[in-house]
Structure 1
């Protein structure tokens, strides 16, 4: 059973509908006991990093992560997995993965301006192997964000895109994973990524 963390700032409808299309059983909850009992957690997110950290059941998420069961952050939910963000002033994140979240400057090194937020379809470039990317081919996914993870040299970087800056698009280490884009809105590749996450969950259940 997949638990979706409800802290008032997530695309709960679109994420839950994606799970339904994949035939996955899920629940949406704020209850600590229910969330900790889940086989995996999804941490969606839309909005401000600071507001999210104020509303998020931080200790519950950290305790779940420490259990070794799979945790997937989506969009803002991915950013929350990291150490800090500069959005609305420096704010500490969950610190489950190393890295900092920065705002797109909106201007290139040679002075050319570009649109912020980053919105639209970009092609993933796979950086290293991962169960999340197993048997998949590089393709386009859908982004909507003004802040990006600065993790160019990090061993957690699984896939990236370029939007004037290197954008960490898929991240992961051990049981913690994240996707900066919206997989539930990213056509075939997005759904395949979610399916791989669900397969990872099933494999872990089998060896528990």
Structure 2
């Protein structure tokens, strides 16, 4: 990897497909470190927050590490953060699983709730609809790989912040990805999404290390 490759930290807080994310990001052109070192997470060109399993367990891992303020500070400073799957969900105000409400990091509005679908989990390939202006490198109809039973579903609240919301549908519409200032989150797994996922990670990596303007103001 050349010295000019952007430096990306995959945050190791005890949850996530760390090695598959590491390999996919390296293939996208990043110099990748998998670490729990918060100083490295704060100063890297890009920070990736993966996550699998339960919302509450992922939040407990982030809190034990003390990672929440580092993630929030990066977003406030316009330094890119990418959240994947439950690592995306924890960026919201909270999650409601099995009758338990767990606060999230509060960087995006809304509560992550169970999909009101005939069959959950939503597992496998599904298409997305991509808004104009997206930096994801994806197009309407592109297919990504999903494994989840919960999602952010208040699309109106997200769009009211000025965020770009890529949507998916599994009986009901949900946020498949959100771009808000320096923060990008994907409910799907780009590292498991073959060519479309690789293109997304290349697009995200290509934007590093340049800072992204701070999040847009809410719509009037």
Q: With structure 1 as the length reference, what TM-score do the two structures score?
A: 0.89
Question: What is the alpha-carbon root mean square deviation over aligned residues?
Answer: 1.6
Moved more, 65-74 or 54-63: 54-63
Partner residue in 1 for 2:55? 49
Q: Which runs of 5+ in 1 are unaligned?
A: 107-113
Quick check: 1:29 aligned with 2:52?
no
8 Å CA contact retained: 2:146, 2:187: yes
Alignment of 1:1-208 (within 5 A): 1-56=7-62, 57-88=67-98, 89-106=100-117, 114-133=118-137, 136=139, 138-153=141-156, 154-155=158-159, 156-204=163-211
Could you list the structure 1 runs, at least 4 aligned residues long, displaced by more than 3 angstroms after superposition: 202-205
- Counterpart of 1:95 in 2: which secondary structure? coil
- Seen in structure 2, the aligned counterparts of structure 1 residues 44 and 98 have a Cα distance that, compared at 3 Å, is same
8 Å CA contact retained: 1:129, 1:158: no
Deviation at 1:92, TM superposition (A): 0.7
Kindly provide the CA deviation profile for residues 70-107 of structure 1, in whole angstroms up to 9, marking residues without a partner as x: 0010011110111111024111111111121011234x
- Counterpart of 1:78 in 2: which secondary structure? helix
Deviation at 1:133, TM superposition (A): 3.4
- Counterpart of 1:132 in 2: which secondary structure? coil
- Counterpart of 2:208 in 1: which secondary structure? helix
Number of residue pairs matched by the alignment: 197
8 Å CA contact retained: 2:75, 2:181: no
- Counterpart of 2:30 in 1: which secondary structure? coil
CA distance in 2, matches of 1:77, 1:90: 17
CA distance in 1, matches of 2:69, 2:168: 32
- Counterpart of 2:155 in 1: which secondary structure? coil
Greater relative contact order: 1 or 2 (C-alpha under 8 angstroms, separation 6 or more)? 2
CA distance in 2, matches of 1:132, 1:142: 15
CA distance in 2, matches of 1:27, 1:198: 14
